[in-house]
Structure formats: C-alpha cells, structure tokens
Structure 1
Amino acid sequence: MGLSLRARRRGGNKKEVQVPAISCSDEEDITIPSQFQCPISYDLMKDPVIIASGITYDRENIEKWFESGCKTCPVTNTVLTTLEQIPNHSIRRMIQEWCVVAKGSSLGRIPTPRVPVTSHQAVEICGKLLSATGREDHAACVEMVKKMKRLGKESERNKKCLKENGIGLVLCVCFDAFSENANATDLLEDVMVLLTWMFPIGLEGQARLTSSSSFKRLVGFLRGGDQNAAILVKELLSLDEANVHALAAINGVEEALVRSIRDSVSLASIYRMISVKPEITTRFLGLDLVNLTVEMLVDSENSVCEKALLVLNAICESNEGRREIRGNELVMPILVKKILKVSEIAKKDLVCVMWRICKSGDGSEVEEALRLGAFKKLVVMLQVGCGEGTKEKVTELLKMMNIQMKMNGFVDNSDSSIEFKHLKRPF
C-alpha cells in the first residue's frame, strides 16, 4: 500500500505524519484531499462537524475525544467553552461530490448522516409525551413513543441523550397511566422496549412501575413471554426488597416467571424472590421448577448455568426443596459432569448444592456421586484452588465419600480421562 499523503498537525511543533492512501485496486490509489480528512484519525470524514474552535472533525472521532474527558480542541489545544457539534454541510457535500467523481474506484458515496438528537429536542419530546399522557391522549403518546424508538435505533448516542434528559421517568408515568387500558397493548409494549434502555430510573419512576396496576400489567406481559417485561421485572426486583413482596402478592406471578424460565432473565427473578421471600418456595416447587432448572443446566452457556445453580442453591435452603432436588434423577449426574466445566462463580453454588443434598440424604447420594466420578474431580478442584467457603465444603464432601468407600469397599472405576496436571499431591 502506497504512502501518498502527508498531513500536518496545527499548533505546537509542526510534525509531518504520513497517512496511507485508500487502495482501490492493484493499479490505483486514491489520495484523500487533506480538507476531507479528520484531524484525529486522518480518515475520510463521514459525518463532518464543526466544534467551538472552528475546526472540523468526523463526529464519531470527536465524540470519543470528548467522552474520554477532554474538553479541548485536539488541533489547537484551546479549552472549549461548549462541546456542541454543528454539522458542516458544505464539507459533507464536497466529500460526497468527490466520492462520486472517484466512483470508478471501490470508494462508494458517503451517505447523508442522520443528525443526532439534541438535549433540547429530547426535552421537547419529553414534554410532549408527558402532556399527552396527562390528557390520556393515546394517539399522541403512540406518536411520541414511536419517534423515540426510531431515534434510539439510529444510534447509541441518541439513546444516551434521551436517557439523560428525563425520558425514563416520563415513560414510567405513561406506562402507569395506561396500565389498565386494555386497548393500549401496543403502546405499552413500545414503552417497555424504551424502558430497557433507561435503568436506573430513579425512585419516582420505580414507584410508578411498581404500582399495583403497573405490576399486574407487567406480569400479564410476562405470562405472554414478553422478554422486555422479564427484563423490567428483574431490574425492579433487584432495586428494593419491597418490590419482591409487592410482586409476590400478585396472583399468578410464580406461574408467569416459570413459564418464561427459558429466558435466563427470569431465573434471576426467581432466585431473587426465593432469597427474599423463602416461604414462596413451595409455590415454585409445585410448578416443576426443579426439573425445569435442572434441564437448563444440560447444555447451557456459563451465564445461564450460573443463574440456574443460584436457583437450585436457594431451593436447597428448605427441607422441602432439598427433598425435591434429591428426588430428581438428573441432578447428581449433571452436577458431577459440570464440576470442572462451569465458571468459578458457578462452582461455589454447584458445590453447595452437592454438599447440601449429600449431607441431608441417606448416603445413597454420596454413593451415586462416587460412582459418577465426583471424587477425582473434587480433588482436582481442591488442588487447583477455590474460595475458602467452597474449599471447606469440598473437603467435607471428600471425607464423606472416603467414609463411604471404606464402608462399602467401593472401587472408583470412574472415567480415567480426567486430567490431573494441576494435582500437586494426592488427597
């Protein structure tokens, strides 16, 4: 690739920087005119904007500069009184015309960029939605919400601008206002999409979304398998224990969460509810929660395994939960299989579940774990290293297994392919 362009920084010591030309074919190099290059990247500007110093940059590059905490002009090094960026339409048109002239190469036309939403526009949209909500003007609310969705899809910058200018709270107000309106389903679904961008939403927004009518409507969407509803419920439950108690009071919420369990987000909500309100464990057990959670462990990625093991560990807190888990034929085989395959975070809960069911059982669980090859895998875990609490439980499990082997003359015929390269000394 040829080096056909020399760019010169302004200010300070003058320094020549060689910039690669755009290679369009084996025979042809296109040299970018210096006035079309961003002074930061020296690449062709796709969305040229002027900042307060009068220098033009590509929007993406200058935004990254500002987001890094710099409040100066990269070229002149002057401190800027404002970080506002104004589209340089004349340069953009010149770049587009130049691209057309060079169209015989592989260089395509630079499309006209969409101008990001400004804080002023975000505040205006916010006011219009709030006003329409107060009037219960369904059509106007739909129009404003769809406009926000369009803006959000255009760029992450737009999402950030909307969030920073109070849209989250107004959306919560809107959801609450229309939560009992049977004809507002489409509007509420769009509001939920937007709200997944807006957390944290503040105490007032949280109060609106956790009102009796709002919570009931969220559960209704959850029952229908709406993923955005599942995300909102998880976020609300994580904010305050009072929200857990409020949600638990809604009829059918356990069924809604279990029905959407294939979405691992609902696993996190179930864990939170059982942890804060253990007495509702019985309700979840009656909905086949143990079997569904165990099935999710079979071939799931680490993040899902972590949540599933959290739920099983929480269920193990109760006698009824331990009996249910011990009675599931898949539990021990899957736990043993996963010992050396899950993340460090998940290992803590996996060992705790195994320890609890072995300690509370009649010895058959320990024997099954031995038969499946748990002993060698736990030794490897102990030697490789684990947290102090986990280490204690692993040690106790190994002692239980050792006793079982001596009592029954058990010979470990487990899979000999387990790697012991990390083993420093025998157990």
Structure 2
Amino acid sequence: MQVTSLNVEFFKELVNILNDQISEKATKETLKLQISVCPWERNRIKAVEAGIVSVLIDALLDCSEKRVIELISMVLVQVCQAADGRAELLKHGGGLAVVSRMVFGVSLVASERVVRILYSVAMFSSSGRVLQEMIELGVVEKLVLVLQVDCGRKMKEKAREILKIHSRVWKKSQCITYDLI
C-alpha cells in the first residue's frame, strides 16, 4: 500500500469512525492517522471528497476535550490547504463560525492552527461574502487581538497579513472602527 495516494474508501472509513464516535481513544487515533496521511495533496483531496470537513466541524460543535480539538484543528489546517477543503469549510453553515471561535478559546496550539486556517481562507477563498461573514463573526477583532497578545511570531505574521490584504474592504464596514484596522 502506498501512503501517498490512498483511495477514497479509506477516507470514507475514517469519516465513518469519526461519525460513530465509538470512543475518545478511537477518535484520537483516527485523527492522528488522518494527520499522518494528509501531508500529501492527493490524500487531502480524497479526504475532502469523503466528507471529512463537515464531520470535523460537527465534531467541534460537540467536543470539549482539548486534545481532540487540537487534533481536529490540525486536520482542518491540512485539508484547507486544498481549494476543495476551503470550499467545504465555507459551505458548511457553521464552518467559519465554529473555527473562528477557537481563537484563544481552547489552547495556544489550537489558536495557532485556527489562524492558519483563517489565513488559507482569507488568502485563497475570500469573496465579498466571506469577508463580510468574517466581520459579522468577529474574526477581524480576533485577528487584531492576536497582534496585541503574547503569542507566536508566525501567528502574528499571518494575522497581520490577513488584516493588511483585506483592510480596504473591512475599513468600509459599519461594524469595524477605523482605528481597529
């Protein structure tokens, strides 16, 4: 078996295990397996085809275990590197909301990963609708907060770049004060 190009059925089985919520240990091990096979783009695309994004977002709604949330956020970082993964995140009714609430809501590790997800979305999938949703959900304020608190340099750089690139759009918003951006 070649790990760099697994078939969609493999990922469908992983999705089924996550859906069934057999146990916390099974969930953690499935997420770890997903992380280990998704550095390769082909596998990321197949994982998205298998429906991993919506399952992970739904899991985040119910999950309170810090380590599981961190693992889910890592899988989302990987699949959001693919255009289809970002599209699925944005297609899910609560995708952006659920992900963005994790900024400083779980752990620094999860926050760093969420900023990476937001970076992927903001840089490669940002339509007017997405940028407006980011304002409404408070993502812009959270990115400004990232710049103000003590956190990793890379996290701050990504937040700064998102704010810089979309500042013209966000400055026009009634919801954001000019000083914030």
TM-score by length of 2: 0.81
Shift of 1:426: 6.5
Match of 2:150 in 1: 385
The reply on whether 1:255 has 2:20 as its aligned counterpart is no
For residues 13 and 138 of structure 2, what CA distance do their matches in structure 1 show?
A: 38
Question: Which of the two has higher C-alpha Rg?
Answer: 1
Corresponding position of 1:279: 42
**Residues 1:379 and 1:397: Cα distance change in structure 2 (over 3 Å):** same
Counterpart in 2 of 1:317? 81
* Cα shift readout 1:378-411 (whole Å, capped 9, x = no counterpart): 22222112212111111122224432123xx312
Counterparts of 1:405 and 1:252 in 2: how far apart (Å)? 42
What per-residue deviation string (whole Å, max 9, x for no partner) do you get for residues 301-357 of structure 1?
221111111111101222222222222221111122221202111111100111111
Q: Which residue of 1 aligns with 2:159?
A: 394
Task: Report if the CA contact (8 A) 1:293-1:308 is conserved.
Answer: yes
Q: Report the Cα distance in structure 1 between the residues aligned to 2:49 and 2:83, rounded to whole angstroms.
A: 15
Selected match of 1:351 from 106, 110, 115: 115
TM-score computed with the length of structure 1 as normaliser: 0.37
Match of 1:295 in 2: 58
8 Å contact from structure 1 (residues 366, 400) kept in 2: no
Q: For residues 99-114 of structure 1, what are the structure 2 equivalents within 5 Å?
A: none
Range that drifts further, 310-319 or 325-334: 325-334
2: CA distance between counterparts of 1:396 and 1:364?
A: 19
- Retained in 1: the 8 A contact 2:60–2:98? yes
Contact 1:260 1:266 in 2 (8 A): yes
Q: 1:274 touches 1:315 (CA, 8 Å); kept in 2? A: yes
Code of the aligned partner of 2:46:
R
Distance 1:365 1:400 in 2: 14
Map 1:21-420; keep pairs closer than 5 Å: 244-245=3-4, 248=6, 252-261=9-18, 262=21, 263-275=27-39, 277-300=40-63, 301-361=65-125, 362-406=127-171, 409-412=172-175
Structure with greater helix share of residues: 2
Secondary structure in 2 aligned to 1:252?
helix
**Contact in 2 for aligned 1:274/1:280 (Cα 8 Å):** yes
Per-residue CA deviations over 1:1-56 (Å, capped at 9, x if unaligned) read: xxxxxxxxxxxxxxxxxxxxxxxxxxxxxxxxxxxxxxxxxxxxxxxxxxxxxxxx
More strand by proportion, 1 or 2? 1
- Distance across 1 between alignment mates of 2:180 and 2:174: 17
CA RMSD of aligned residues (A): 2.5
Q: Which runs of 5+ in 2 are unaligned?
A: 22-26
Structure 1 position 365, deviation (Å): 1.4
1:287: Cα distance to partner?
2.0
What per-residue deviation string (whole Å, max 9, x for no partner) do you get for residues 132-190 of structure 1? xxxxxxxxxxxxxxxxxxxxxxxxxxxxxxxxxxxxxxxxxxxxxxxxxxxxxxxxxxx
Distance in 2, Cα, partners of 1:342 & 1:274: 23
Q: Deviations over 1:198-236 (max 9, x none)?
A: xxxxxxxxxxxxxx8xxxxxxxxxxxxxxxxxxxxxxxx
Runs of 5+ consecutive residues of structure 1 not aligned to the other structure: 1-211, 213-241, 414-424
Return the alpha-carbon distance in structure 1 between the equivalents of residues 49 and 174 of structure 2: 39
Q: Contact conserved, 1:367 with 1:401, CA < 8 A, in 2?
A: no
Deviation of residue 245 (structure 1)? 4.9
Within 2, Cα distance between the matches of 1:351 and 1:384?
14
Distance 1:268 1:402, change over 3 A: same
Percent identity over the alignment is 23
Deviation at 1:264, TM superposition (A): 2.6
Q: Call closer, same or farther: CA 1:253–1:394 in 2, change over 3 Å.
A: same
Classify 1:426/1:255 alpha carbon distance in 2 versus 1 (closer, same or farther; 3 Å). closer
